[in-house]
Amino acid sequence: MSDTTEVSDIIEDATFDFTMGDSDHAISKLEAVVEAHPDSFEAWHALCEVHYSAKAYESALKAAERALSLRPDDLFINTSLSRIWLELGSKEKAEHFGAQAKVASWKEQLKNPEASQAGLDTGSP
């Protein structure tokens, strides 16, 4: 089994734990993954989201900032950071990361215009 597959499996297990209401176990699994695989964007982002849901905003911020350092143009981590900063009371930073998320979305639409158009139904034949 490759490291990538192993990491993905652990993230899935942690996500399942979280959805079943066991945030502590999910956090433990994700912290072990990021310690062993510090360059795993997916693990850092998952850890960010679990901390956010537990209202542990400072911990969520630390995980999100690490994920951002790995993928600065990622739509989802910029959205997460916008939500976190809103909860932490910084409207300015929340707006900054919200704008970054929009830019990331536009870049994705430019790279793949067919996919972005597929979601739009104009009603025209």
Q: How confident is the prediction along the chain (125 residues), in pLDDT tens digits per residue?
A: 567 889 999 999 999 999 999 999 999 999 999 999 999 999 999 999 999 999 999 999 999 999 999 999 999 999 999 999 999 999 999 999 999 999 988 888 888 877 656 554 444 44
What domains can you pick out in the chain, each with its CATH number? 3-113 (1.25.40.10)
> In whole angstroms, what is the distance from residue 91 CA to residue 107 CA?
24
> In whole angstroms, what is the distance from residue 60 CA to residue 77 CA?
11
- Is the four-CA dihedral 35, 16, 24, 94 of positive or negative sign? positive
Residue 11 contacts by C-beta under 8 Å, 6 or more apart in sequence? 30, 33, 42, 43, 46
Q: What is the pTM of this model?
A: 0.82
Q: How many CB atoms lie within 10 A of CB 121?
A: 7
